[in-house]
């Protein structure tokens, strides 16, 4: 079985190849921060629970399946998903759509992507920078994507905006895969630098990113600590879980 379910979330266990590329599916990421957001945001929880697949982006959320079910789950960062599915679509000479971020960032992404994946047709769209999209905004986004008919839509917005957008728009999009990858847009465009492979391997990528963007850490720390507190309660059976 390629997935494991814990706390109501269905995680890909160890192999991205279980994701079909011939039907419409949504991949979101799960981390201590997104878990914390979902506790007080019902739409965010639905976006995670009802996603077709979740990938373990935040390494420490992997403690939940390990401690509660004795299951090891492999981490797949947004970059891993981006690289894997891009290679797959390049092999089939398909199409990819990037939505999110600024026009400048998207132009940089498109230029690099065309060089690295020459057999993929690419289109991009920068949505308005606002907390809540209007129905007019959503219609424009859906129409742009559907006119292009991409195999994959990569979504690069901040959490929980991107997860909610993918969940709420999935049924309206003419695509096979919707994949939320957040910071990958800025990394790939060269706007910021991803922590090195050593930090990724030892699970301390988040620690290095504190020095790059301390404001993000301050914004997310409460949600992250909420996950660890809940996990303690689950482990000692003070709080029930699935």
Q: How far is the C-alpha of 26 from the C-alpha of 163, rounded, in Å?
A: 9
**pLDDT for residue 217 is more than 70:** no
Residue 207's pLDDT is: 58
Q: Which of 153-157, 182-186, 219-223 shows the lowest per-residue confidence on average (mean pLDDT)?
A: 219-223
Write out pLDDT tens, residues 67-116: 999 999 999 989 999 999 999 999 999 999 999 999 999 999 999 999 99
pLDDT, tens digit, for every residue of 167-188? 999 999 999 999 999 899 999 9
Contacting residues for 187 by C-beta, under 8 A, at least 6 apart: 79, 193, 194
Helices 161-169/42-49 angle, 10° precision: 60
- Strand pairing of 121-125 and 95-99? parallel
- For 3-189, CATH number? 3.40.50
| DSSP helix, strand, coil percent of the chain (3-state; round to 5) | 50, 15, 35
Task: Detail the DSSP E strand segments found in 13-144.
Answer: 25-30, 53-56, 95-99, 121-125
CA distance 29 to 58: 8
Residue 59 pLDDT exceeds 90: no
Tell me what pLDDT residue 194 has: 72
Which pLDDT tens digit goes with each residue over 109-154? Answer: 999 999 999 999 999 999 999 989 999 999 999 999 999 999 999 9
State the burial class of residue 23 (Cβ atoms within 10 Å of its Cβ: 0-12, 13-18, 19+): exposed
Considering only the C-alpha atoms of the chain, give the largest distance between any 2 of them, rounded to a whole number of Å: 54
């Amino acid at each position: 079985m390629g997935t494991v379910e814990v706390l109501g979330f269905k995680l890909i266990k160890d192999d991205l190849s279980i994701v079909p590329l011939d039907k419409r599916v949504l991949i979101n990421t799960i981390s201590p921060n997104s878990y914390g957001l979902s506790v007080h945001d019902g739409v965010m929880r639905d976006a995670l629970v009802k996603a077709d697949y979740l990938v373990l982006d935040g390494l420490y959320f992997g403690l939940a399946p390990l401690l509660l079910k004795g299951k090891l789950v492999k981490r797949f960062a947004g970059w891993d998903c981006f690289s894997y599915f891009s290679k797959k679509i390049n092999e089939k000479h398909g199409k990819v759509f990037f939505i999110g971020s600024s026009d400048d960032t998207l132009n940089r992404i498109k230029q690099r992507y065309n060089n690295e994946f020459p057999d993929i047709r690419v289109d991009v769209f920068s949505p308005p920078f606002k907390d809540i999209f209007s129905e007019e905004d959503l219609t424009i986004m859906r129409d742009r994507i559907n006119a292009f008919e991409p195999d994959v839509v990569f979504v690069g917005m901040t959490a929980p905006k991107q997860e909610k957008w993918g969940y709420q728009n999935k049924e309206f999009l003419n695509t096979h895969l919707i994949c939320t990858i957040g910071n990958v847009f800025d990394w790939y465009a060269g706007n910021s630098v991803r922590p090195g492979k050593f930090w990724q391997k030892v699970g301390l990528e988040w620690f290095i990113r504190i020095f790059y963007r301390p404001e993000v850490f301050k914004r997310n720390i409460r949600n992250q600590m909420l996950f660890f507190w809940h996990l303690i309660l689950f482990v000692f059976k003070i709080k029930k879980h699935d």
